[in-house]
Chain A
Amino acid sequence: QVQLVQSGAEVREPGASVKVSCKASGYTFSYYYMHWVRQAPGQGLEWMGIIHTNSGSTSYAQKFQGRVTMTRDTSTSTVYMELSSLRSEDTAVYYCARGGAVSKRQWGYFEYWGQGTLLTVSS
């Protein structure tokens, strides 16, 4: 069965960086796009960006351009999301979510989600 398992909760000070991981299993990793979505406390869902798990190419929401970097390691079927210059407003649960098939060039909807990683940014 498809599983996306994320790394554990993180606490960072303002100005620091964080790197969250998402390990995929139960399917061929490089066949599907992977997205990152975040949710601030009591708020809605916010799309951050996408990584093509085969080529490694990325596309980020304009809001996060320059602060976010998404990478992947095909040998371990893991994607990473690094967010830098953290501020208190970045406190949120961060989710990875599997998108569409890369062969169809469809970024797709999110049938499978990770369990979420809580990031707390506080001094």
Chain B
Amino acid sequence: EIMLTQSPGTLSLSPGERATLSCRASQSVSSSSLAWYQQKPGQAPRLLIYGASSRATGIPDRFSGSGSGTDFTLTISRLEPEDFAVYYCQHYGTLAPHTFGQGTKLEIK
């Protein structure tokens, strides 16, 4: 089973700054099988990125995903107040168990 490790565990930034979140897989994964989610307290997760770099419907273009192999990145170009939340990466292999990273908490500095 593929393990995903996210870093940092907590990221403290100010609105307007750039956020870079990392997700590292224990073995190489297909770029078409990597997603990112945002979760706010008391809410279900929200899909941001699928296929490593494709934005989901309605997601602002300040969110972007990149990476391949074992290293993937979620970038938020200019943080808005509503972006402070927990972010998870997910591997969704073909007909294989799904796995999530442990999450990165993005907090206001």
Instruction: Using CB atoms and an 8 Å cutoff, list the residues of chain A in contact with chain B.
Output: 35, 44-47, 50, 59, 61-62, 95, 99-100, 105-111, 113-116
Contact = CB atoms under 8 A, between A and B. Distances in A.
A56 B99 CA distance: 22
A46 B90 CA distance: 10
17 contacts: A44-B103, A45-B90, A45-B100, A45-B103, A47-B97, A47-B98, A62-B97, A99-B92, A105-B95, A107-B98, A108-B92, A109-B90, A109-B92, A110-B35, A111-B50, A113-B45, A113-B46
Nearest to B103: A44
A113 B38 CA distance: 12
Given A111-B47, A113-B44, A106 B97 contact: no
Contacts of A108: 92
A116 B44 contact: yes
Contacts of A62: 97
Contacts of A113: 44-46
Interface size class of B (residues with CB under 8 A): 20 to 34
Contacts of B44: 95, 113-116
A35 B92 CA distance: 11
List 6 A-B pairs, minimum CB-CB distance, nearest first.
A113-B44, A47-B98, A109-B35, A45-B100, A109-B50, A44-B103
Nearest to B86: A44
Given A95-B44, A109-B35, A44 B88 contact: yes
A8 B56 CA distance: 29
B46 to A, nearest CB: 8
A106 B30 CA distance: 13
Contacts of A110: 35, 37, 45, 47, 90
Nearest to B92: A109
Interface in B29-46: 35, 37, 39, 44-46
B100 A107 contact: no
